[in-house]
Amino acid sequence: MLKACGISIAQGFTQVAGRVLQAPKLKAGNGEDIFTRNGRWNFNKRLARACVVDRWAVVNFSARCNTMNLVNDLIKCGGMKGITVEKPHIVIEENGSMRRAPAPKRVEDMFEQVKSKLPGAPKFLLCILAERKNSDVSWKRKCLADFGIVTQCVAPTRVNDQYLTNVLLKINAKLGGMNSLLQIEMSPSIPLVSKVPTLILGMVGSREWPLVSKYRASVRSQSPKLEMIDSLFKPQGTDDDGLVRECLIDFYTSSGKRKPDQIIIFGWC
């Protein structure tokens, strides 16, 4: 069939010359260098710009987790990284009668508890899951997509400093901090980016030009079978409620009221 169509298949793969890129040079807090080995590093330093974790709460879907031990360990580890983690406003345990209910119902019940027990919308919610496998989807949709509340899900089976550090790196980035900087950012010398106000859009949008390590994440929900991002532009009457406009406004406010002269887009082809 292939020969009849004039198609032939080579016996071997095409050979392409390649090269290994050098690992980027990173800076942590206090200008300390982060040394990499085989593309890996342990983040045992203070963060480049640490956030303050306040006005937050814990919701626990797990019957096996010692919640207060986890919270205290997180606060202690945060202090070592330069993150001020205040004690949570409240720790909310799941109703025992809901443990065998479907995930969406468990989330709805827990969220009703959050609304009734907190004086207002929290800045951040730490969610302790009963298991790892896909159990965070309903909670993230409820918090992020429906209410815009920053959340971090954990399913700790073995809690150690490395695990807590990884959790804190995610929390710090979500709450507006910076974990590390590229060394090249310390002196504005990135080609095409450092000299001209530039917004970089991928799965996240950069902010605080001329830095490229500071970014903003925007969240929308859509059909699971839809590959294209359908909320880039979202007309509502004469306004636009899309992701691009949201990132442009954030870039403007975080970059000294500068508008980007150029926009570089990755990942939407």
Distance of CA 103 to the CA centre of its chain: 23
How far apart, in whole angstroms, are the C-alpha atoms of residue 204 and residue 244?
Answer: 10
Give 18's pLDDT tier (boundaries 50, 70, 90). very high
Give the residue carrying structure tokens 């797990």: 62
What confidence tens digit (pLDDT) does each residue in 30-66 have? 778 877 777 677 777 888 888 899 999 999 988 778 8
Please report the beta strands in 12-82, taking only residues with DSSP state E, as ranges in sequence order: 26-27, 33-34, 52-53, 56-60
What confidence tens digit (pLDDT) does each residue in 70-94 have? 999 999 999 988 899 999 999 998 8
Amino acid in the structure at residue 237: G
Q: What residues are paired with 240 via a beta bridge? A: 235
Give 260's pLDDT tier (boundaries 50, 70, 90). confident
- Look at residue 62 in the predicted model and tell me its pLDDT: 83
Helix (H) or strand (E) holding 139: helix 137-140
- Look at residue 210 in the predicted model and tell me its pLDDT: 57
Chain length of the chain: 269
pTM above 0.95, yes or no: no
Cα Rg of the chain, angstroms: 22
Domains, the chain:
52-174 (3.40.50.2300), 182-265 (no CATH)
User: Which residues, in sequence order, are CB contacts of 11 under 8 Å at separation 6+?
Assistant: none
Nearest CA among 65, 63, 114 for reference residue 88: 114
Residue 171, classed as helix, strand or coil, is: helix
User: With b meaning 16 or more CB within 10 Å and e meaning fewer, what string describes 90-116?
Assistant: ebbebeeeeeeeeeeebbeebbebbee
List the structure tokens of 210. 């001329």
